[in-house]
Chain A
Amino acid sequence: MSHDAAYWLRQIRSLHLTQRTRIMNVCGGHERSITMAGLRSVLPSTIELIPGPGCPVCVCPEEDVYQAIQLALQENIILVAFGDMLRVPVNVPKGEAHTLEQARAAGADIRPIASPQEAIALAHAVPDKHVVFFAAGFETTMAPVAAMVAAGMPENLSLLLSGRLTWPAVAMLLASDTPGFHGLVAPGHVSTVMGAQEWEFVPQHYHIPTAVAGFTAESLLAAFYSILRQLESGKVFLDNCYGTVVSNTGNHRAQEILQDVFSVTDANWRGVGIIPASGFTLQAAYRAHDARVLFAHTVDHTQRKRAGAMPPGCDCARVVLGRIYPNACRLYGRACTPRNPVGPCMVSEEGACRIWWSGGLRAPTAPTVSA
């Protein structure tokens, strides 16, 4: 029953599209597939595909990265984090470690991990040290982190949690005067865990056509077609173009574990500000494993210049919100490349700047997304 990419392209071309249509995705994996498959170049020129808030590392508060660096520099602490995090820069005076990677070069014990299980194994292996797991991620990643907590953590392991929820960022954009998009591709694996229904509010309250997509060109094109068809017909709804994997209600057990372990609070997104009900924090029952409680007084941000901000000249916050394309940043491909990244969007595998550069989009300067 499934159609190939050529079929969906024909379907899209058969629509009567005259107006500019901006379709936003909120998942680094989607953006990667779109860029690698070159989908922008095969779609009618009226259609713009916009990378939106799909990169948890990109919006991880600068203060959290700074705190992670300071903790890692302590004698008895080993800091572990998913690999992407190690090169995210903070704003410190020249000469101080401005990434975890630099702190490691200066002697801090910092180790990249690929799974929460590695944090557990390490904590067991070094009972006389304290292990801090600095965890950023969206719901897909926070469910395994919650599972790790629920299954029982060694005493000498704590969490510096910077987990975020995806949908509140979309809700914030929609509630603003300038959402900047006419259709939404809802994320694939966030929805696997949380269920497609989490996105129901977008068509219902904001009349924006929405489709959950997988990561193949076929699935993405099917979602684009669904969105464009909805716009043409005026009948707006939540479509699921990834039904082989995503159910309407998601992985119930994972959601229960998330609820048992974390509570949801207002949270800061780097360069963006506070988004209501968009962050995970550990429940009070797990205070003994909460690095924010255990090490509450180790850092003072008030004395730091540019605490919380993006690095000077970096337009990552507007990239994350879909306000500009990556190559509209003045530093893109000039001062900022994956080898020498200036901002987090060029560091993270899910950052739009990194994805565009990896996909061979080399020309700085480009169309801006008009709001």
Chain B
Amino acid sequence: MCLGIPMQITDINGYNARCEAKGVRREVNLFLMQDAALAPGDFVLVHVGYAIQKISEVEARSSWELFDEVLRVQEQGGYA
């Protein structure tokens, strides 16, 4: 549950941002990011609907790969 998922900001309206990750769209709250200059196109780490940190595109992409991998193993291993 402590895991943040990288998402890309597509649109900002006050403390609310629309974000996207691999086709999934979410409303993300920016209240914890008040000190960061954020703009559409930027990547953030999102945890329970809140951005907690700005990250680079390279970092975002490497994490996405990781989640793909984890999900694949879980699907294969499954828990019966």
A358 touches B77 (CB 8 A): yes
A215 touches B80 (CB 8 A): no
B77 touches A359 (CB 8 A): yes
Query: In the complex, what's the smallest C-beta–C-beta distance from B74 to chain A, in angstroms?
Result: 6
- Chain B interface helix/strand/loop/mixed: mixed
Which chain A residues lie closer than 8 Å to B52 at the CB level? 140, 143-144, 189, 192-193, 251, 254
- A34-71: which have CB < 8 Å to B? 36-37, 54, 56-57
Determine which of B2, B33, B34, B69 lies in contact with A141 in the assembled complex, contact meaning CB atoms within 8 Å. Answer: B2
How many angstroms between the C-alpha atoms of A155 and B70 in the bound complex? 41
Determine which of A56, A144, A350, A358 lies in contact with B74 in the assembled complex, contact meaning CB atoms within 8 Å. Answer: A358
Which chain A residues lie closer than 8 Å to B66 at the CB level? 33, 215-216
B69 touches A36 (CB 8 A): yes
Size of the chain B interface, CB-CB below 8 angstroms:
34
How many angstroms between the C-alpha atoms of A29 and B66 in the bound complex? 11
Q: Could you say which of A56, A57, A245, A350 has the most chain B C-beta atoms within 10 Å of its C-beta?
A: A245
A360 touches B33 (CB 8 A): no
B45 touches A117 (CB 8 A): no
Q: Mark A332-371, 1 if CB is under 8 A from B, else 0.
A: 0000011100000000111000100111100000000000
Tell me how many residue pairs across A and B have CB atoms closer than 8 Å.
123
Query: In the complex, what's the smallest C-beta–C-beta distance from B38 to chain A, in angstroms?
Result: 12
Which chain B residues lie closer than 8 Å to A245 at the CB level? 45, 53, 55, 59
Known: A33-B66, A150-B31, A257-B32. A215 touches B48 (CB 8 A): no
A251 touches B79 (CB 8 A): no
B1 touches A84 (CB 8 A): yes
How many angstroms between the C-alpha atoms of A252 and B77 in the bound complex? 40
How many angstroms between the C-alpha atoms of A84 and B1 in the bound complex? 9
Known: A141-B48, A144-B48, A216-B66. A190 touches B2 (CB 8 A): yes
B49 at the interface (CB under 8 A from A): yes
B29 at the interface (CB under 8 A from A): yes
A18 at the interface (CB under 8 A from B): no
Query: In the complex, what's the smallest C-beta–C-beta distance from B17 to chain A, in angstroms?
Result: 12
B27 at the interface (CB under 8 A from A): yes
How many angstroms between the C-alpha atoms of A117 and B19 in the bound complex? 15
Query: In the complex, what's the smallest C-beta–C-beta distance from B61 to chain A, in angstroms?
Result: 11
How many angstroms between the C-alpha atoms of A360 and B72 in the bound complex? 13
Query: In the complex, what's the smallest C-beta–C-beta distance from A157 to chain B, in angstroms?
Result: 16
How many angstroms between the C-alpha atoms of A251 and B56 in the bound complex? 16
How many angstroms between the C-alpha atoms of A350 and B2 in the bound complex? 8
B3 at the interface (CB under 8 A from A): yes
- B17-40: which have CB < 8 Å to A? 27, 29, 31-35
How many angstroms between the C-alpha atoms of A10 and B16 in the bound complex? 46
B50 touches A144 (CB 8 A): yes
A308 at the interface (CB under 8 A from B): no
Determine which of A57, A151, A216, A338 lies in contact with B79 in the assembled complex, contact meaning CB atoms within 8 Å. Answer: A338
A339 touches B29 (CB 8 A): no
B79 touches A357 (CB 8 A): yes
A28 at the interface (CB under 8 A from B): yes
Query: In the complex, what's the smallest C-beta–C-beta distance from A318 to chain B, in angstroms?
Result: 22
A138 touches B55 (CB 8 A): no
Known: A33-B66, A252-B35. A140 touches B4 (CB 8 A): yes
Which chain B residues lie closer than 8 Å to A57 at the CB level? 1
B74 touches A36 (CB 8 A): yes
How many angstroms between the C-alpha atoms of A328 and B52 in the bound complex? 37
How many angstroms between the C-alpha atoms of A116 and B58 in the bound complex? 29
A56 touches B79 (CB 8 A): no
The 9 listed contacts between A and B (C-beta, < 8 Å) are A32-B70, A82-B1, A140-B47, A144-B32, A144-B49, A215-B66, A253-B33, A257-B32, A358-B79
4 closest residue pairs by CB, A with B = A115-B49, A144-B50, A147-B31, A360-B77
- 11 further A-B contacts with Cβ under 8 Å, apart from A29-B3, A141-B47, A189-B52, are A36-B73, A56-B1, A82-B48, A117-B27, A143-B32, A150-B31, A189-B3, A192-B4, A216-B62, A245-B59, A339-B79
